Structure 1
Amino acid sequence: METIVNICENQEITIQPVTSTEITKRISILKRKKAGDVEGLTAEHLIYGGTELTEFLVTLINNIFYTKHVPEVIKKGLLTPVHKKDKDPTIPSNYRGITVISIICKILELCIRARIEGTLNKHQNKLQKGFTKGASSINIALLISEAINEAKDKNECLILITLDAEKAFDVVDHIHLFWKLYHQGINGATWLLIKELYNKTTTQVKSQGYISETFVNEQGVKQGGILSANFYKAYNKNILDTLESTNIGIKIGTNYVGCPTCADDIMLCAGSEHDASTQLRIIENCTKNDRVKINSKKTEILMINKKNKDINLQLFNEKIDEKQNIKHLGIERQEKNNPNVENRISVARATMYSLLGAGLHGINGINPLLSTADAAIYILLGAESIEQLVHKAVISLFLRISKDPNSIECKIGIRQLATKDDKSNSWYINVDRTLKSYDLPSAHEIILNPEKNWKRLTHEVIDKTWKNKWTESARSKSTLKYMEVNNWNFKKPNFCWSSVRDNKRDVSKGIIKSRILTGTYKTQSITNRFDGTKSAECKLCMVGPEDYKHFLINCESLNCVRKIHQDRLKSLLEDNHIHYCSIIDSDEDLLELLVDCSRNDLITVPQQRDLERICKDWIYALHAKRTQLLENK
């Protein structure tokens, strides 16, 4: 370590000074409404501190860059122990320490990160996707899924091993870290400053209203620190590099995918017991050298395409348990590689029950499966279907992968699309099938021409396809004949809901109006349609069948309520210089206006909003009066 210090001190490599523009930019990305640091400072203090504070920070940080000395007050942290869910609260290890570092230290680390991130990224292992620009845990999940799909295509065995590093960020050895950073291109004044940043950092523990004495941190990267993720990835790079250099583990074509990793979450992928055992020996040696402890009791094995043979794999002389399913990065993987249907049904059921208190009804009235057209829901809310959202998400991920030709995911994609047929389980082939279903260019064409603006094109085509589908479906439904089904768009709800104000009564009006719009408001005619033993005759006036026209316009028992709102409607039209008879020539015209005023081209959008509120009041008032009269009969 002394040798590296001497080398860096003799290097004429300075740190680029900060400017007020840079400091302003760094302050703008701080998260608001967070707990204060040891001095009680929060992001808001810097955000609203003004020009003088910004200039002070410029002077302070440039002075730190020049002297390579960090004031002790900046290196203080305030740690709060947070209990891990469903764990024994009497055991100290069942708490996770969350540290709030100095807000000034965050600005300092943001400035340092901007100067070293490019260098560290050049040395980052290609299978490390955690805290990486343009990548996420989804990329790791994709690599694992593709390894499973490849094994399924070839009917070969695949061994997956999850590794659980105990308090990975907390046990990083500082000397090892500084040594690794130097050998990954961080040198000169920057290396000396980072070493100083971690020299005698202190922490106080805050619990139950009390604050402990200060103690010095001798190991670990700062919890909550801006640079912590970058430093940890540099620290565990040796494990991934060693595994890859041995070439032991799964390969897709010539692409090594033996250890997909997201920060400290490593998944080993091997094709045989021998390979898996060798990978584990490498893990033992590397973690021993790096002073990282892997919890063998939490390490698990999942066999894909198991060939009726039990395996015996050990980590630190302890047998690793084989499971029928394992959870990694929030995704449950199963031995038979089937979706976990039972768990998903359970989650769906729990979700539905949780919504009952908010007004969801599943047991009263008409069965929605029988009475509500699918198209009505999507058009009314301007909502996208789950299938539509999934297709857009899948294609968006594929497009992101295509734009990075040097990534392992892109290289695998080119290989799979060139060698696999349409029967393959490959995710990339599934993407190709999805694109073809929308008559879009093939996945192979897209991945070879990534610079084109494919995202706009693909999303427009997908939206247009689904819009046409719901529009055609709605036109064929007699219950939706009064709903505007031609001029609607996704993410733009019908006036019925977009005009609703944030109060309980207005929401209730919206609910009744939407039932009329979708043909699910239960009148006697609808009851008769589903139960022929019930009469369709209006129970209020006993004159003719009670359909929507009768209920909203003709029922004499509701005339007194109806007249109030009809007068309001006429008054609104006159105020906007619209003659009542010019748009309402018959009861059918009035019914169409009441149910969905956006169908009328003579009324402008601002006028439609005002008109919608009157129509909603009209319908709700009739509903309330009808309910009252029926209860009194």
Structure 2
Amino acid sequence: MLLRKVHFTDVNPATWILIDEIHKNTEACVKWANDYSEKFPVQQGVKQGGLLSADLYKIYIEDLLHNFENVAQGCTIGETSVNAIACADDVALMSENPAELQLLINIAAEYSQNHHYLLQPQKSVVLQIEPSNRKKQSKSVNLTLNENPMPIVDKSPHLGILRSTSSKNSQNETTDQNITKSRRAAYSLMSAGLHGENGLDPITSLHLIKTFIQPILTYGLEVILPTSSNLLKLEKFQKQLLKRIMSLPICTPDPSIYILSGFLPIEAQIDQKALILFNNICRQDNSNLEKKLAIRQLTVKDQSSNSWFISIKKMIFKYGLPSPLQLLNCAPKSFNNKRFKYTENETPICKLCDQGDEALCHFLLDSNSRTYPTKKYFHQIDEILHLISKDNLRTLSSHDKIQIILDCTLHYTGLKGNSENIVKLDAICRQMSYALHIARYRSLDIKRK
């Protein structure tokens, strides 16, 4: 059934065959107490921990998510329906009305029966969240899954983040869970030499911490944004770990720890991850759900709101960044930091023509000056291209032009009979690039005087 759904997504036939081969004739076994069971064939489901497993399962339950969206029941933020939050097989249904929530549960149960998979009763629980401004506690709700009552719990994990009955409890539980998991990860690395004295060198030890322990310690905290008391717990654990690994005295000042290790304080790490997450939202299309929610919350909510976007707004002001609405309307692009920026100006202008930004495409193809015309080189390149493959610079895309100038052998592969022309073309392109570099260098010297 999974392969059938993948086929209907108009995937490349070669890719479909590859996915089919990955899941064909697979076997599994159960490991328990350093012992393995007999192998048994896997006839259903995706591979546990596979690289494509999450994306394939999203395709598998895409129809279920569309059913939730079409029902128009459950929680809403403004006019946006947020009745289901899902990532692969981790689905959370939300509603303020028990009857609507029961309807959503019935839809999920019916979908599982039609697609021949089971919902685990132990993981299918009810988490009754109480608003902070409600003085009287609400009555417990009675919900059923396949006519079996669902247990009501105080906390439950969702996407690896431990959710509880209130925002404060969720922060406390997630913080304690991350510290516990990080301590276990540190203990598991002690056999590899991560124990300070007589162990690995400090550089290797710090790299292991940054790779295996730090992501566990800060996992999910950019979403819940812990309070100062929880930040102190996390900070205390990180400082103690760094002191032991670097064999520093207990009374070592905090700045010395961070200078020697190169680590950031926990608060700075969480702020960094939160700003990266907000930047990912800003770079989405305006039709995406996350960006719609961001615009709505930043426009409607005031500074006293507990909304995550308002917390991000305060964080942006703390670091002196542009306003969040400005970032949403004009998100910073990932290629902005790859410009050839040789000056300290905010907008790097091309030094040859003083007209466009000094990007790679403009510098090689569009830049021109009175002291250095590039037409003669383009004319020679055009003549050789006509001898090689009847191509013309006017008909080629900008990407192909840049590829020819930088390394023409990658663009014209397999042309053994025209090797002499390839050598001539490569020589002219190198001359052109060097001449551009010299012309720009001279312009800088003139402006410095």
**Distance across 2 between alignment mates of 1:331 and 1:384:** 23
Percent identity over the alignment?
A: 28
**Distance across 1 between alignment mates of 2:266 and 2:23:** 52
In structure 2, the CA distance between the partners of 1:344 and 1:404, relative to structure 1 (3 Å rule), is closer
Q: After superposition, where does 1:40-79 map in structure 2 within 5 Å?
A: none
1:268-323, Cα deviation, whole Å (9 max, x unpaired): 11121011101011011111111111122331111112642121100011111111
User: Normalising to structure 2: TM-score of the pair?
Assistant: 0.52
> Which amino acid in the other structure matches residue 391 of structure 1?
D
2:321 alignment partner, SS class: coil
Moved more, 221-230 or 265-274: 221-230
Larger Rg computed on CA atoms: 1
Tell me the equivalent position of 1:404.
284
**Distance across 2 between alignment mates of 1:211 and 1:321:** 32
2:94 alignment partner, SS class: strand
Q: CA deviation at 1:325?
A: 1.5
In structure 2, the CA distance between the partners of 1:217 and 1:393, relative to structure 1 (3 Å rule), is closer
Q: CA deviation at 1:382?
A: 3.6
Q: After superposition, where does 1:302-313 map in structure 2 within 5 Å?
A: 302-305=127-130, 307-313=137-143
In structure 2, the CA distance between the partners of 1:299 and 1:196, relative to structure 1 (3 Å rule), is closer
Moved more, 390-399 or 176-185: 176-185
1:184-216, Cα deviation, whole Å (9 max, x unpaired): 3348x5598469648962547698899978x76
User: Normalising to structure 1: TM-score of the pair?
Assistant: 0.38
1:101-149, Cα deviation, whole Å (9 max, x unpaired): xxxxxxxxxxxxxxxxxxxxxxxxxxxxxxxxxxxxxxxxxxxxxxxxx
Tell me the equivalent position of 1:420.
301
* 1:248 and 2:78 matched: no
Q: Which runs of 5+ in 2 are unaligned?
A: 132-136, 198-239, 338-449
Tell me the equivalent position of 2:327.
446
**Distance across 1 between alignment mates of 2:112 and 2:176:** 40
**Contact conserved, 1:204 with 1:211, CA < 8 A, in 2?**
no
Q: Which of 2, 14, 25 is equivalent to 1:201?
A: 25
Tell me the equivalent position of 2:45.
220
**Distance across 1 between alignment mates of 2:334 and 2:56:** 35
Q: Which of 299, 303, 314 is equivalent to 2:144?
A: 314
Tell me the equivalent position of 2:401.
none
Q: Which has the higher contact order (CA 8 A, sep 6+)?
A: 1
1:51-78, Cα deviation, whole Å (9 max, x unpaired): xxxxxxxxxxxxxxxxxxxxxxxxxxxx
Tell me the equivalent position of 2:266.
386
Q: After superposition, where does 1:112-123 map in structure 2 within 5 Å?
A: none
Tell me the equivalent position of 1:484.
none
In structure 2, the CA distance between the partners of 1:224 and 1:444, relative to structure 1 (3 Å rule), is closer
**Distance across 2 between alignment mates of 1:183 and 1:343:** 40
Q: CA deviation at 1:179?
A: 3.5
Q: After superposition, where does 1:136-535 map in structure 2 within 5 Å?
A: 176-186=1-11, 189=13, 193=17, 197=21, 201=25, 203=27, 217-222=42-47, 227-305=52-130, 307-339=137-169, 340-341=171-172, 344=175, 351=183, 358=196, 368=250, 372-405=252-285, 406-452=287-333
Q: CA deviation at 1:392?
A: 1.4
**Contact conserved, 1:280 with 1:315, CA < 8 A, in 2?**
yes
In structure 2, the CA distance between the partners of 1:291 and 1:453, relative to structure 1 (3 Å rule), is closer
**Contact conserved, 2:130 with 2:138, CA < 8 A, in 1?**
no
Aligned length: 276
**Distance across 2 between alignment mates of 1:219 and 1:381:** 47
1:261 alignment partner, SS class: strand
2:167 alignment partner, SS class: coil
**Contact conserved, 1:250 with 1:256, CA < 8 A, in 2?**
yes
1:294 alignment partner, SS class: coil
In structure 2, the CA distance between the partners of 1:338 and 1:238, relative to structure 1 (3 Å rule), is same
1:24-61, Cα deviation, whole Å (9 max, x unpaired): xxxxxxxxxxxxxxxxxxxxxxxxxxxxxxxxxxxxxx
> Which amino acid in the other structure matches residue 333 of structure 1?
R
**Contact conserved, 1:325 with 1:333, CA < 8 A, in 2?**
yes
2:281 alignment partner, SS class: helix
**Contact conserved, 1:249 with 1:271, CA < 8 A, in 2?**
yes
1:292 alignment partner, SS class: coil
1:417 alignment partner, SS class: helix
Root mean square deviation, CA, Å:
4.1
**Distance across 1 between alignment mates of 2:37 and 2:160:** 35
1:398-423, Cα deviation, whole Å (9 max, x unpaired): 01111012332111111111111111
In structure 2, the CA distance between the partners of 1:276 and 1:343, relative to structure 1 (3 Å rule), is closer
